[in-house]
Amino acid sequence: AQAVRERTSELAVLKTIGFSSHSVLYMVLAESILLLVIGGVLGLGLAGVIVPIVAKGSGGMLNLPPVGSQTWLLGLVLMVVIGAIVGALPALRAMRLNIVDALAGR
């Protein structure tokens, strides 16, 4: 939401040069999903590396499940769904953006 508020004038310029409201909606939504997927993949990758090290280093005291393909699949699905939910309101605001008000800083 903050990224969209900071770039209101840029979104207004996109609409001015001919991007449709739906194109702006999809771009903001895609950005939200992409940012969440990048962070989630980094987190799952880090967990995939650290979990075996911690399990081995604990001498059997911690029995942590491995990060397998089902975890990756569930994680990716959740990343996309949560990214779409979180990005929906800022994307709708960007779609309804009034060009004149946005360029005037209102």
For the stretch 45-90, pLDDT in tens is 999 999 888 888 888 787 888 888 999 999 999 999 999 999 999 9
State the average pLDDT over residues 19-23: 90
Domain boundaries, given as residue ranges, for the chain = 2-104
**Distance between CA atoms of 76 and 28, rounded to whole angstroms?**
19
Confidence of residue 106 (pLDDT cuts 50, 70, 90): low
In whole angstroms, give the CA distance from residue 74 to residue 65.
15
